[in-house]
């Protein structure tokens, strides 16, 4: 009974961290991921250098993947999802999409998020103009080693605009939350572009800047003082083209004047949506979602990483926009909570 494995769903930063922590504590783990390789968004979406370490995602998160893959305590099921989940803490029944069934003592949902699809904001030109790209695409330009180039003709952009809050803080499209990381990621990308293309200029169009905590110095001010990135308080109205370059229209709010400025490349700082599969996940595991569709967290003061169902825990961006470092911390924390469940079952059995 007590040596039943813990089910970890999702192999991104929080899942990898939870699985590793459980294995180190001597528990067996079944790790399930719907993708055919581990690593989650940082690996599958080809992130480049991570905030705030500056390490490459393939080294940092890749290292976590290799550590989990090498661990005999962890049974990895790639390309699989959980089809049904029933029972009580200490004795859950799990059936996977490939038909295999097993018992688990607890489950940790590390199911992450889905990148916002910029096509849902057509006025900003994504899908219409090839030189309108997303932060994820710029990450891929760096991680592939090809560098930042305009997709239309491969030229180095002389002037780049980054638009913040694409798919965040926007009631028009039902996304009222702040995605938390895009300001910092955008400042990081802006500095990387300025380093790679010293002749380029990078402008960030913002409503508020939320480079929280220590990111204030390392990203917000470093980008301005050292890399001369410009921050303009304006929400761009539309992105069009004069046939040669992209044209940004909006209001420079501090000058109270309309702007119509040419750019070579426009980058959408896309937000973090709830995982598109969250309704299915919620129904399968019998856990509640909060009003935007993220997995609802139980009160942090009683136990960390709880959901609305005892014995089922949650960590990372599944509960809302989250940083990689915090996702990793939450993975470990949820592992601790799952261990406590197992201990409780043992104690109750002994009494």
Partner 1 sequence: MPIHEKSLIRPEDLRRQEKLTLEGVDVSGDWSTFIGTRVITDYNEQMQDEIAALPGGEYIHRCWQCGSCTNSCTVNAIEPRFNPRYWIYLIRMGLEEELLRDKDIIWQCVSCNKCTYACPRDVVPEGVMKATAHWLELKGHTAPSPSTVFDEEFSAQVFATGKIEDGRVLRRFFAATGQALRQPWLESMLRGLIARLPLTLLLKLGLATLIRPRTAGWAGARAAISEHVAAQKQAERRALGLAAQEGAHR
CB of 217 to partner 1, least distance (A): 12
x-or-dash pattern for partner 1, window 161-180, by CB under 8 A? --------------------
User: H helices then E strands: how many in the chain?
Assistant: 9, 18
Three-class DSSP category at 54: coil
Residue from the set 171, 257, 291, 347 that interacts with partner 1 by CB under 8 A: 257
Residue from the set 75, 156, 170, 252 that interacts with partner 1 by CB under 8 A: 252
CB of 188 to partner 1, least distance (A): 18
Residue from the set 46, 52, 62, 262 that interacts with partner 1 by CB under 8 A: 262
| Site residues (CB under 8 A) for partner 1, limited to 190-249 | 201, 203, 221, 224-225, 228, 230, 232
Q: Which of 61, 95, 107 is CA-nearest to residue 338?
A: 107
Token look-up 């935007």 returns: 292
CB of 250 to partner 1, least distance (A): 10
Residues 213, 221: Cα–Cα separation, whole Å: 12
Which is nearer to partner 1, 228 or 279 (by Cβ)? 228
Which is nearer to partner 1, 78 or 228 (by Cβ)? 228
Which is nearer to partner 1, 114 or 224 (by Cβ)? 224
CB of 160 to partner 1, least distance (A): 12
Cα 256 to its chain centre, rounded Å, is 35
Residue from the set 21, 68, 165, 261 that interacts with partner 1 by CB under 8 A: 261
CB of 175 to partner 1, least distance (A): 27
Residue 156 burial by CB count (10 A; 0-12/13-18/19+): exposed, middle or buried? middle
- 130 binding partner 1? (CB under 8 A): no
# of chain residues touching partner 1 (CB under 8 A):
17
CB of 255 to partner 1, least distance (A): 6
Cα 52 to its chain centre, rounded Å, is 14
Structure-block tokens of residue 266? 């426009």
Residue from the set 2, 53, 100, 260 that interacts with partner 1 by CB under 8 A: 260
Which is nearer to partner 1, 126 or 231 (by Cβ)? 231
- 258 binding partner 1? (CB under 8 A): yes
| Site residues (CB under 8 A) for partner 1, limited to 32-91 | none
Contact 190, 178 (CB under 8 A): no
How far is the CA of 101 from the CAs of 10, 95, 98, 190, in angstroms?
18, 4, 9, 48
Residues 241, 262: Cα–Cα separation, whole Å: 8
Q: Torsions phi, psi of 129, nearest 5? A: -115, 125
Which is nearer to partner 1, 257 or 347 (by Cβ)? 257
Residue from the set 237, 259, 303, 336 that interacts with partner 1 by CB under 8 A: 259
Which is nearer to partner 1, 83 or 259 (by Cβ)? 259
Which is nearer to partner 1, 170 or 251 (by Cβ)? 251
Q: Which of 272, 337, 329, 336 is CA-nearest to residue 13?
A: 329
Angle between helices 324-350 and 13-24 (to 10 degrees): 40
Structure-block tokens of residue 131? 């030189």
CB of 109 to partner 1, least distance (A): 40
CB of 96 to partner 1, least distance (A): 52
Contacts of 269 (CB under 8 A, 6+ apart): 135, 162, 163, 164, 165, 166, 182, 183, 185, 186
Task: Provide the binding-site residues for partner 1, judged by CB under 8 A.
Answer: 201, 203, 221, 224-225, 228, 230, 232, 252, 254-255, 257-262
């Amino acid at each position: 009974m007590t040596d039943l494995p813990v089910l970890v769903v999702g192999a991104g930063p929080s899942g990898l961290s939870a699985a590793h922590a459980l294995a180190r504590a001597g528990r067996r783990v079944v790790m399930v991921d719907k993708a055919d390789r581990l690593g989650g968004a940082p690996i599958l979406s080809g992130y480049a250098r991570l905030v705030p370490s500056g390490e490459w995602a393939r080294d940092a998160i890749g290292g976590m993947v290799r550590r989990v893959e090498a661990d005999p305590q962890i049974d990895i099921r790639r390309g699989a999802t959980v089809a049904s989940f029933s029972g009580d803490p200490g004795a859950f029944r799990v059936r996977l999409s490939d038909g295999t069934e097993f018992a688990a003592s607890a489950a940790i949902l590390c199911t992450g998020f889905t990148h916002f699809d910029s096509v849902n904001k057509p006025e900003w030109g994504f899908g219409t103009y090839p030189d309108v790209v997303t932060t994820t695409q710029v990450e891929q330009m760096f991680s592939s080693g090809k560098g930042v180039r305009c997709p239309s003709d491969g030229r180095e952009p002389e002037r780049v605009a980054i638009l913040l809050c694409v798919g965040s803080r926007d009631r028009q499209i039902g996304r009222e939350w702040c995605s938390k990381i895009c300001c910092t990621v955008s400042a990081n990308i802006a500095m990387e572009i300025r380093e790679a293309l010293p002749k380029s200029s990078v402008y960030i169009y913002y409503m508020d800047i939320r480079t929280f905590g220590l990111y204030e110095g390392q990203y917000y001010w470093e980008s301005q003082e050292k890399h001369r990135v410009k921050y303009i308080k304006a929400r761009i109205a539309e992105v069009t083209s004069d046939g040669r370059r992209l044209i940004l229209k909006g209001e420079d709010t501090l000058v109270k004047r309309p702007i119509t400025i040419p750019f070579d490349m426009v980058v959408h700082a896309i937000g973090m949506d709830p995982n598109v599969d969250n309704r299915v996940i919620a129904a399968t595991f019998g856990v509640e979602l909060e009003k935007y569709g993220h997995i609802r967290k139980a009160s942090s003061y009683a136990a960390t990483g709880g959901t609305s169902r005892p014995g089922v825990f949650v960590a990372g961006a599944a509960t809302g926009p989250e940083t990689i470092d915090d996702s990793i911390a939450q993975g470990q924390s949820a592992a601790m909570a799952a261990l406590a469940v197992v201990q409780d079952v043992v104690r109750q059995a002994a009494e």
